Amino acid sequence: MPLYPDIEDVLLKRVIAEVDSGPGCMNVEMLAHMRIRGLHIVPGLPTTGMAQETNQNYGPFKGQYRNNLHLLVTERFEKKKTINVNDPPLFVFGGEDPETGIELDDTFNKSFSEANCLSAWRKCGAVPLTRRPMNGPTIQHKVVMNDDQTVNSVIDPHGNKLMQLEVSNHMACDFLLDDCT
């Protein structure tokens, strides 16, 4: 493991890597091999950005980057100057544009500051390590049935969709089981 040459399965030498929830993350032999060496794989939640820490910072980053780009393009256009290959660092790290004198914000350090990263990590349950994303309203749902066996969509508005998924899942499993016997 070239990134962590001193990794071991001992206190203060273990590495935790959060990965997406793809099927390769469930290869038990691979997971065991990595854990013995000190690399602990933590699968992320499927189909949600709630637990993707860095995504929390990219929204503000993209917004400020676009603001810097718009400001620079506008100023350069007024002075009949063009954007060139050396300009992207200005959009990202800010500073004074030598062509126009306009001052651009430091997008990277604003978006990925220690405070913003810690805030994003806290929202995602990464620092401190918690199950916070699992409690989000877009993650867990329950099908609540009324007395007349209809789905109660007041308690959980996603109940009907969940019931449709449940019925489809049962149909697919039944089909596969019938086909195998």
Do 71 and 129 lie in a common domain?
Answer: yes
Number of structural domains in the chain: 3
Specify the range with the lowest mean pLDDT, choosing from 44-48, 79-83, 112-116, 162-166: 44-48
Listed in sequence order, the residues at least 6 apart from 174 whose beta carbon sits closer than 8 Å to its beta carbon are: none
pTM above 0.85, yes or no: no
Query: Quick one: 124 and 154 in the same domain?
Result: no
Q: What is the pLDDT of residue 21?
A: 66
- The answer to whether the beta carbons of residues 105 and 63 sit under 8 Å apart is no
**pLDDT tens track for 25-47:** 778 888 899 899 999 887 766 65
pLDDT of residue 45: 64
> Which structural domain, as residue segments, surrounds residue 108?
49-137
Q: In 6-54, which residue ranges form alpha helices assigned H by DSSP?
A: 28-37
> What is the rounded radius of gyration, in angstroms, for the C-alpha atoms of the chain?
25
Residues 110 and 78 in one domain: yes
| 3-state SS assignment for residue 38 | coil
120, 56 contact by CB (below 8 A): yes
* Helix (DSSP H) and strand (DSSP E) numbers for the chain: 6, 4
pLDDT at res. 108: 94
Task: State whether 129 and 166 are in the same domain.
Answer: no
Query: Which tokens is 158 given?
Result: 């996603």
Do 40 and 74 reside in the same domain of the chain? no
Work out the average pLDDT over 103-131. Answer: 88
Based on the fold, state whether residues 35 and 106 are members of the same structural domain: no
Tokens 């990464």, located at residue: 126
Together in a domain, 81 and 119: yes
Distance, in Å, from the CA atom of 77 to the CA atom of 71, rounded to the nearest integer, reads 10
